[in-house]
Each structure stands twice: as C-alpha cells, then as structure tokens.
Structure 1
Amino acid sequence: MDVGNPWLNIGIFLLFVVVTLVIVVRVSRTTTSVGDFYHGGRSFSGRQNGIAIAGDYLSAASFLGIVGAVALYGYDGLLYSVGFLVAWLVALLLVAEPLRNTGKYTMADVLSFRMKQRPVRTAAATSTLAITFFYLLAQMAGAGALVSLLLGVESRAGQSLVIAIVGALMIVYVMIGGMKGTTWVQIIKAVLLIAAVGVMTVWIMASNGFNLSALLGRAVDAHPEGGAILEPMLQYGTSDTSKIGFVSLAIALVFGAAGLPHVLMRFYTVPSAKEARRSVVWAISLIGFFYLCTLVLGYAAVYLVGADTIRNAPGGSNAAAPALAYELGGTLLLGIIAAVAFATILAVVAGLTITASASFAHDVYNGVLKEGKASPEKEVKVARRTAVVIGAISIVGGILAAEQNVAFLVSLAFAIAASANLPSILFSLYWKRFNTRGSTWSIYGGLLSALLLITFSPVVSGSETAMIAGADFAWFPLSNPAIVSVPLGFFLAWLGTVTSKEHNDAKQAEMEVRSMTGAGAERAASH
C-alpha cells in the first residue's frame, strides 16, 4: 500500500508539535499554584472543556480502529461507536455534576470524602495507575504500529524511536504546562481531528449525491460479505460464546467511560457545576458527530479501498482511515490525516500522564505518605517527577508491546474502570450507608477480577490472535471480563458495606448537600 510522502507526513506532524509547544510554554507562565497544575485554575469554560474532553476521549483507537471495524464488519463495527457515545449519557446524568461539586483534584477526593482517607486513597490511586498504565501502553503501542504505515518506517528500531519521541513530548507537555497546557493541546487536537473527519465525510457524501442509500449500496456491492454488512452479528454472531462476549464488551464500553480517571479529572477544570454539565453536552455533541462520520468513512473505505486490501495492509484494520484519505485526496490529505493520527495519540497520552501523576502526588504522596501535610509546592514537584517516571515506563512498555494486541489493552482499561471505579463512585454519591470497607472491596475486587479473567482469556493465550503465541492456558472463554467483573464490583461494594458498622452521618449529609447543590465546593477548591 502506497503511503504517499513520509517526509510530508513528518513535516505536518512537526508543525503541530511546534505550534502546541509554543502555546504550552506561553500557558506555563500562568501555572503558578497546585490548582493551576492539576485543574488549570478552574479557568476553562464549559465549551472549552467540552472540546478538550472530546480531544481526550477520541483516541487513536476511536479514529483508526472504528473506521476499520466498520469497513470490515459493517454494522457490528458501528456498535463500538454506539457504546462509546451512550457511555457519555451515564457520565452526564449520574457523575459529572456531583463529582465536580464534591472533589478537588482527583477521583479519590470523592471516594474518600466521608470515609477513612488512607485505605480509600490508596485503593483509588492503585486503580487509577492501573487503568492509566494500560491505556498509555495501548496508545504508545498504537504509535509504533502506525509508523510502518504512515511514515514508511518498517524496522523495529524505527518504531521504537517514534514511541520514545511521543513519550518525550508527552513528558514535556505535562512538565511545562500542567493541566492548562495539556488542555490546550487537547482542544487543538480535537478541532483538527473533527475538522479532518468532517471534511472527508462531506467529500464522500457529495460524491454520492448526499444519498446515504447510494453509499451503502456501493459498499454492499464491493464487500465480500455483501448485504451482511448492513445487518447485526456479522462479527459477533458466529457462536453463543461470541454473542455473550459482545454483551460483555458493551458493558465495558458503556460503563467504563464514566469511571475513566483521565476523563473524570476534566470535570475539575471548570468553575461551576453548570459549566460541568455544559462541558459534557458539548462533548456529547462533538463525539456524536464524530462517530456518525465514522459510519460514512467506514462504508466508503469498503468500495474505495477494499476490505481485503485493508485486512492485509500494515496495521490491519487501522489502515482503513489513512488509506481512504490517500484515495480521496492523495499525498496531501494522507499527510494531514497522518499528522492528526499522531496528534491524537500525543494529546491522549498527555492527558493520561497528568492524571496518573496527579493521582500519585495528591493521593499517595500527600494523602497517604504525608497524611495531607505536604506543601503545595512539594506536591507539584512530586507530580512533575512522577510524570517523568510514568513517561519512561510507558516508553519502555510501548516498545515491548509494539507488536501486541492494542485492542486488548484498551478493553482492559475500560473493563477495570467499569469494574473497580464506577461502583465506588456511584455508591459514594448516592448510597448513604456506603463505607470504607465497601469502597476498598469494590475497587480491589473489581481490579483483580478483571486482571485475572483477562489473563486467562483467549486474548492472552489459546487463540490465533493471542498475545502469547503458541501458549494455551485460557479457561475463561470471553475476550472481555466485564460481564463478570462489573457485577462482582457492585456486589463486593454492597457486601463490604453491610458487613461493616462504620457510618459517618455528618460527613454523609455534608457530601449529599455539596454533591447536589455545589455549596462549599468553591471554598474547598481554593484551599
């Protein structure tokens, strides 16, 4: 497959890097306090934060993966889009406003509000770091996998170099700009990504007389499976196990987003609960538009590129969007799409890194080790050092996982978020009886069960696409554990709570008032 001009691809990407670095350096001059570093001084409007959330949420897996999935599997590929989008309704209706009202910097602020600080903060930080690590690993490995297609670099050393560059840039963004700098990177990236996808969609629809039926008809004629790409269960209907596996995947996608720490942290960057709700509405609108575009791009790739060509291309289904760009606009459009793809990875890993560094510095270092007595300056210094360590680990991990199953790592992050974080978040906000034992049992139980089931699933061994080729120790038949681990997380939250007599009426009443009205949230945020 022709990838156009690799030097043009690199040039456009470097232009994005230079522009965003200039912005980050300018923004860094206003990053003077711990609040500026963690939540940007709550200085972003709902619209700005909504665009940044879209930039944080629309990863390379969304852009490249879903277009490829629709091209290969039609309707079933689109179900990823539906799951990701519906997840935002859960976040909007149940989590966004009370989380912002109750918390200060991290998810653990909410979970530990009316409970024992040390065990809950330790558990929340553990799940945050686990989710962030696997999500980071997926993005870094994705960067390496895309190199062979987009930049014409086929050697393992070349891919490793690109992963190291992405990691180094990520560290620079977080170290210099904190949350303010990271947010502006995400805003710029979101505008570029949605604009690029929108232009390609309008281009394709115009070539079909803005007739969606004509587009779908051409896709049906070109696809080896014919009309089956317009019907459910082409990918997931091969057996009863695969159907149950799809339900499990859907549970992870729908409930995972509301528990992703790097997404939840974005709600703290707005000045009020009203702006938090507004930011989610903006995010839903932009993400919804994006996912509608993936339908058009995926089906267009079927007849413009060809399903077999996509399947056999470097990067497999990830090649669909770049190959479609090349067919539509030649070398220039491919260069723009290549740059947008790498900008997507860069923005997402920056958001993940600041979340992980904030969680360690605020929850583990200050909340647990220093019992809340560390100075703000020392806390930010630890956060910056943590960003360097996380960046270095993710670079090494990304290099080692460059040829592994990236989808596995993303689904694992979503499954852990839905299993470990969401039960504790919802019960903390809405169940008066909920206590420390319930929270820690839920977090550790959801985390460990998700990790255990994934380890012994066909994703790791016992299948053609397994991470460990030739090995077979899989006894759990599903690729995603959410159908077991999510209900288990909720059950353990209930069981731990009812077997403990701990209950703080005064703190619970304060949390209820604050989460519903926002009263007291501004005073707490300023300290």
Structure 2
Amino acid sequence: MKGKSLLLLGSLMSTPLLAADALTGEVQRQPLNVPAIVMFVAFVAATLFITYWASKRNRSASDYYAAGGRITGFQNGLAIAGDYMSAASFLGISALVYTSGYDGLIYSIGFLVGWPIILFLIAERLRNLGKYTFADVASYRLKQTSVRTLSASGSLVVVALYLIAQMVGAGKLIELLFGLQYHIAVVLVGILMVLYVLFGGMLATTWVQIIKAVMLLSGASFMAIMVMKSVNFDIGALFSEAVKVHANGAAIMSPGGLVADPISAISLGLALMFGTAGLPHILMRFFTVSDAKEARKSVFYATGFIGYFYILTFIIGFGAILLVSTNPAFKDATGALLGGTNMAAVHLADAVGGSLFLGFISAVAFATILAVVAGLTLAGASAVSHDLYACVLKKGKANETDELRVSKMTTLVLGVVAIGLGILFEKQNIAFMVGLAFSIAASCNFPVLFLSMFWSRLSTRGAVYGGWLGLVSAVTLMILGPTIWVKVLGHAEAIFPYEYPALFSMALAFIGIWFFSVTDKSQNASDEHAKFFPQFVRSQTGLGAASASSH
C-alpha cells in the first residue's frame, strides 16, 4: 500500500514498539500543511519561552537534574504520561483498531500492568534513597564504581536505542504529515531537544511534556466525543455499525489474532511489565517531586492519564472504521486508504474537525516526539555526568559546576550523535530497537534496582556479573532472533527462534545475581549484607533519605 510507513501492532506485537514512534519504510510525502506548521511553530515558541524561564531557575545540580524537587505529584504524573503517550501510539493503536478491531484494546492497555510494580514496589523507595538517577539507589549499599558503571551502561544503551527510533520516527512522521523533508525534520528535532535540555534542564523538559500531554489528551478527547456524537453516544451502536462496514465483519469483535507464538508473547509481556520499571528516563522523574507521597501520586495520576488515553484511541479506531473507511475522499484510485492505514486517525481528525483540527493533530504528533527525546537526552546526560564522571571518575569529589559542565557537553554530543544516527538509519527498519530497549531495561536495570532494595544477600559481585549477563544476553539473543538475524541481516533462518528475549535474559540476570551473590564469601559481601537493613528502614520511612542520597 502506498505510503505504508507506520509498523502496526500486528506486525510489531507491542504497544511500546509503537510508542517509540518507530516509522519505517517508504513514505508518501503529503502536501505542505500550513495550519500544522503554524501550530507547531506556536508550540515551539511557547516551549522555548519556558526553556528561557527555566534557565533562570537552574542554580544547582538539583535544579538541573530534578527541577529542585519542586514538581507536584499531579504535574509529574502528567509529565510521565507525556513520555508514554507518543505520536506513534496515537496513530498506531488507532490504526490497529481500524484494521483488527478488538485486539487493539487488549494490546493498547497491556503494558499498564507495569505501573502497579512501580507504584507499590519502587516509587516510594526510589524517592527516599535516590538523588538524581536510579544508580544512586542501586549503588548505595554496593561498590560505587562497578555498579554505577553497569547502571550507566544499561541506561545509555536504552537511551541510544530509543533516540535512534525517535529521530527516524520524527523524520518519517513529519515527511508524512507536514510535507517537510526528512533531513530537515531530523535536524530540527535534534536542535530543539538540545536547547530544551541544555538551557532548561529537567524543569523545561517537564513542562514540555506536560504541555504536550494536555494537547494530545485534548485533541484525542475531542475526536472521541465527535465520534460518539455521530452514534448518539451509544457505544453499542458504534460497535454494531463498525461491524456492518468493516471488511472482516463480526471478526473484529473477537480477540486473539495478533500473537505469533506464546513464548514470544510471554517474553514480550515480561519486557513491558518489568522494562517499564527499568527505563532510566521514567525512573528519573521520581526525583523531581518533594517526597515519597508525591512520588506515589505521580504514578497514580500517570496511570489514570495513560489508561484514559488508550481508551480514547480505541474509540477513535472504531470511529475511523465508521467515518473514514466509508468516505471516498480519503482513498486513492485503487480504494486504498491515502497514506496507509496509519493515517486513519489523521483522516478522522479531518473528518470531524476540518483542516484546522487536522493541523492541530499533526502539530501534536510532532510535539510528542520533542517531549520524549528531551527526557531521553537528559537521562543520558545525567548517566554520563553524574554516574560516570562525578561518581566513578572523580570518586564523588567533583563539584557541581564541573558536573553540570560535563552534563551540558554530553547533551551537545548526544544531539549531534542523535542527528547523525537519525540520518544514517533513515532507510533501516528500526522497529526492533524499542523492543530491545525494553528487554534491556527489564534484564539489566530492573533486576539490580529491585534486588538492591529488597534482598539482603545481594553483593556487588552478584549485581555486576548478573547485570552484565542480562545486558549482554538480551542484546545477543535479539541479534540472533528472527527480527534482526532474518529481517534485518537477511539470513534464511534465525538461530534464536523467538522475537523477544526478555523471558530468557531476565532469567539469566536473576539467576546470575543470585548465584554470584550467595557464593560470594568475601568480607565485602558481609559488610554489604549488614548495610542492607539501615537502607531498608530508610526506604520504608524516608528517615535519613538525605544522607542516603548524598552517599
């Protein structure tokens, strides 16, 4: 189909693959969309003003990395949701519902099961024990150098994979929606993300994410309301009318058509569930609030906003079946949907709100990418400056001025690298990168973070060996699997038969951490075991959190 650029959930098997804005293949450039460009320029102008305002309030490392802990739970929850509700989720989930029906609801909310883990197990302890990055927590009772090196390495790999997907997605999406050239879009996104992070830090990044979340929720709500208005707000009528006009008929109301094999499905589910709790740019957000209570509120509000958003995309998908598939204005001479099925939500925006609302939705799509790349860049910069430079290289003796200077230098480097990789990977299928990012977060970051909080026998040797085992095995198995070995590298048959490695790499990580910890009979392991209990008390009560943070 012409313009088929967005890999749908059926082919990628996951919401976060879409959530990475992973657009691949050739796109059909649309006519220059003047309303969309005007609205996007207005958004950029507003966020650059916020960046200028935030730059005047960044007086310390705490301000730059964590907005001084002054973000409220509600604001932080909205910002977290802004990180999750991506352009490709919006377009891809609605397109999945448009093509497959009921399955879209199952997969769109599947990854939400990761949030209770963060809410009940991680958020409060993370806020009580950490300072800027999750490595602060993981390394508190263990040796700083080796554990921070592992944590920073895992974070940088996740950030790099996400950034490549975002930059390629930005170019393809804007080429598709705005009519701008791919390279222009990539360079524009790179420059803006550097400006947000370099001058505004976490405060500017947070407000960019909040504004984007409000815009996307508002636009999606309006579309859903207009869809429901067309059926007199009768959800049953929406489904029954959609069944009548869809090519698959009643089959769109039956689940189960998208899973390739149960092992891959379970492996992917584990990556989504536990990878969410290991994503560095998400975990970093819990240090922006004042205390553990606000951290819990953040997760509560984020879950509500994200769940509401995906309910809207479900309605939008069925609305597209009803209002777009039956409208010849949105089809080419062959009867195929203009721009591919991924354009179903965009065409619906045109159908319910005209060209002005279409411009708004297109501008929101680009704004979502800016919000995500800003958070990723800040997470990568903090991993280098705070974990590697200040705590590993300088052994905790670096002053704030030097640390911030390194962070800003890293931001510039990340910006240049992101633009370069975005251009380099223009013609490549980069969809697997986000699946790999979630698998690495679940196999390296999450086990070390989780066990450092809850298992008294954890030792530095166990954390380092097991963490590296999870990281290396996740990457190796993904390369040997069908996605890369066959589809990307062109081999006839995959060495590792499953799409996603998390089931196996997570098991290797936990087993490795356990084995190398229980067999560690050194004095250092005994000291770390004794140090667990004071840390656990701090994580439960918040008492002594300041001293833990400064360790």
- TM-score tier by shorter-chain length is over 0.9
Q: Is the 8 A contact 1:56 1:186 kept in 2?
A: yes
Equivalent of 1:149 in 142, 153, 176: 176
* Per-residue deviation, 1:309: 6.2
Equivalent of 1:409 in 414, 422, 433: 433
Alignment of 1:10-409 (within 5 A): 10-153=37-180, 158-236=181-259, 242-306=261-325, 316-409=340-433
Matched, 1:6 2:29: no
Pair 118,312 (structure 1): closer, same or farther in 2 beyond 3 Å: farther
Pair 136,438 (structure 1): closer, same or farther in 2 beyond 3 Å: same
> 479-488 vs 366-375, which deviates more?
479-488
Pair 95,327 (structure 1): closer, same or farther in 2 beyond 3 Å: same
Q: For residues 464 and 249 of structure 2, what CA distance do their matches in structure 1 show? A: 50
Amino acid across the alignment from 2:165? A
Q: For residues 394 and 49 of structure 1, what CA distance do their matches in structure 2 show? A: 26
Q: For residues 229 and 480 of structure 1, what CA distance do their matches in structure 2 show? A: 26
> 311-320 vs 476-485, which deviates more?
311-320
Q: Deviations over 1:424-452 (max 9, x none)?
A: 11111111111112211232111111111
Q: For residues 230 and 400 of structure 1, what CA distance do their matches in structure 2 show? A: 41
Q: Is the 8 A contact 1:113 1:507 kept in 2?
A: no
Q: Is the 8 A contact 2:105 2:311 kept in 1?
A: no
Q: For residues 487 and 172 of structure 1, what CA distance do their matches in structure 2 show? A: 40
Alignment of 1:407-486 (within 5 A): 407-462=431-486, 466-468=487-489, 470-472=490-492, 474-486=494-506
Amino acid across the alignment from 1:444? W
> 209-218 vs 195-204, which deviates more?
209-218
Q: For residues 362 and 285 of structure 1, what CA distance do their matches in structure 2 show? A: 32
Amino acid across the alignment from 1:433? R
Structure 2 unaligned segments of length 5 or more: list them. Answer: 4-28
Q: Is the 8 A contact 1:90 1:258 kept in 2?
A: yes
- Corresponding residue SS for 1:373: coil
* Per-residue deviation, 1:421: 1.1
* Per-residue deviation, 1:303: 3.0
Q: Is the 8 A contact 1:228 1:234 kept in 2?
A: no
Q: Deviations over 1:8-34 (max 9, x none)?
A: 211111110000100110111010101
% identical aligned pairs: 47
TM-score, normalising length: structure 1: 0.93
* Per-residue deviation, 1:74: 2.3
Pair 64,96 (structure 1): closer, same or farther in 2 beyond 3 Å: same
Amino acid across the alignment from 2:308? F
Structure 1 unaligned segments of length 5 or more: list them. Answer: none
Pair 526,365 (structure 1): closer, same or farther in 2 beyond 3 Å: closer
* Per-residue deviation, 1:456: 1.7
TM-score, normalising length: structure 2: 0.89
Q: Deviations over 1:93-149 (max 9, x none)?
A: 111111111111101111101001101000000000000111111111111111232
- Corresponding residue SS for 1:40: helix
Q: Is the 8 A contact 2:97 2:318 kept in 1?
A: yes
Q: For residues 276 and 306 of structure 2, what CA distance do their matches in structure 1 show? A: 13
Q: Deviations over 1:58-105 (max 9, x none)?
A: 223322222222222223332332222221111111111111111111
Pair 101,193 (structure 1): closer, same or farther in 2 beyond 3 Å: same
Q: For residues 321 and 467 of structure 2, what CA distance do their matches in structure 1 show? A: 43
Q: For residues 406 and 305 of structure 1, what CA distance do their matches in structure 2 show? A: 29
- Corresponding residue SS for 1:459: helix
Q: For residues 34 and 443 of structure 1, what CA distance do their matches in structure 2 show? A: 28
Q: For residues 168 and 80 of structure 1, what CA distance do their matches in structure 2 show? A: 34
Q: For residues 512 and 251 of structure 1, what CA distance do their matches in structure 2 show? A: 26
Pair 526,189 (structure 1): closer, same or farther in 2 beyond 3 Å: farther
Q: For residues 550 and 149 of structure 2, what CA distance do their matches in structure 1 show? A: 24
- Corresponding residue SS for 1:460: helix
Q: Deviations over 1:205-258 (max 9, x none)?
A: 11111111211222222332222222122122xxxx523322222221122111
Match of 1:488 in 2: 508
Match of 2:533 in 1: 509
Q: For residues 534 and 547 of structure 2, what CA distance do their matches in structure 1 show? A: 14
* Per-residue deviation, 1:188: 0.8
Q: Is the 8 A contact 1:146 1:315 kept in 2?
A: no
- Corresponding residue SS for 1:339: helix
Q: For residues 275 and 330 of structure 1, what CA distance do their matches in structure 2 show? A: 41
Q: Is the 8 A contact 1:174 1:350 kept in 2?
A: yes
> 348-357 vs 420-429, which deviates more?
420-429
Q: For residues 549 and 51 of structure 2, what CA distance do their matches in structure 1 show? A: 24
Q: Is the 8 A contact 2:167 2:418 kept in 1?
A: yes
